[in-house]
Amino acid sequence: MILGVPTEIKPDEYRVAITPIGVRELSERGHEVLIQRGAGEGSSLSDADFVAQGARIVPSAADVFGVAEMVLKVKEPQPPEVELLRPDQTLFTYLHLAPAPTLTQGLRESGAVCVAYETVEDVHGRLPLLAPMSEIAGKIATQAGAFMLEKPLGGRGILLGGVPGVAPANVMVIGGGAVGMNAAFIAIGMEADVFVYDVSIDKLRELDIAFGGRASTVFSSTLSVEERLPDMDLVIGGVLVHGARAPHVITRKQLGLMKRHAVLVDVAIDQGGCFETSRPTTHGDPTYEVDGIIHYCVTNMPGAVPITSTYALTNATLPYVLALAELGVAGAARRDPGLRLGINVARGSVTHPAVAEALGFDYVAPEAALEIAEPPASVPGADGAGATASHARPNGQ
């Protein structure tokens, strides 16, 4: 198969969809990898690094999309990239389509098969391709929140960890999945007083053990959030419903309960945001103020640390890339039902139920769109482990 990797063109995006490690693995299996000139520079990867492992450098995105049978990206395709997609092509990237009707329609019209990293599941119903970026985003959320609390950045002017004789900041983390756990770990390390909210008692038990009692765990409800909001200096939202729009866990009315110039960090902004007042921002212009509350809603937080993010992403995606290259989408999906769940758009149809419901499109099963036979009850997954056709959807992700 011919695989193509274009340079990311979303503002302030410095990641690249593959490392030389990935190129080497694909090349040794007889696949051809095209890399757009300069695609890795933001992650400190030169064209020579890719060429040394078997890649071929091409001048433009048009050269990548025009030849590649499968296009690997990091972020959702921007309008000029959507125009380059072909009906016989597979796109493998983060898509986050639930809040993006225009992009979804563009992908439908392209006829391409679009597989989203963020809805691929493993045998335990977890999100293995979202997890590494969630871990990074969670850590960045606390770092960014601490920075935005500084007075020159518009915040309250409070140090997250305090000093002897002066109390630390109060941090609320809503959602105890990968984002929330990592956000809390950093906040604990910075010596803040941390409160983690989730609707799963089992998740809260796990977090209580992981944190060693250094953070308070709270069952999440409208009232429990409202009761503590007046004390909070920093609130981090990390809730997720697989493939669907994020639910609003803080409304505009509830902002009135908060301290003036407290900070909200919305890590769920790619899925529409988990605060009612959230709207997408960029690293170049990361914050805005609503009713006296500072909002940080950068849609590609891991893009700020591209070296870490690029390697973490390739580590996770490479087994799936190899499966798709060897077997094609239909074959790989037959073998791994979790990969099948990543197929969001195919041959003009929306093939993920949560995306279809969020946007009001008709849902077409991937089996129908791609003529994929139903998988057996237990088949080998992309990592060689057993996979089942049904996947639990855990809370707090």
Active site residue ranges: 96, 270
Q: What is the 3-state secondary structure (H, E, C) of 245-297?
A: CCCCCECHHHHCCCCCCCEEEECCHHHCCCECCCCCECCCCCEEEECCEEEEC
| Distance from C-alpha of 333 to C-alpha of 3, rounded to nearest angstrom | 18
Backbone angles phi, psi at 345, to 5 degrees: -140, 135
Is there a contact between 316 and 94 (Cβ–Cβ < 8 Å)? no
Is there a contact between 73 and 92 (Cβ–Cβ < 8 Å)? yes
Is there a contact between 320 and 83 (Cβ–Cβ < 8 Å)? no
- Within 10 A of 338 (CB to CB), how many other CB atoms are there? 27
Amino acid at 167: A
| Distance from C-alpha of 383 to C-alpha of 123, rounded to nearest angstrom | 10
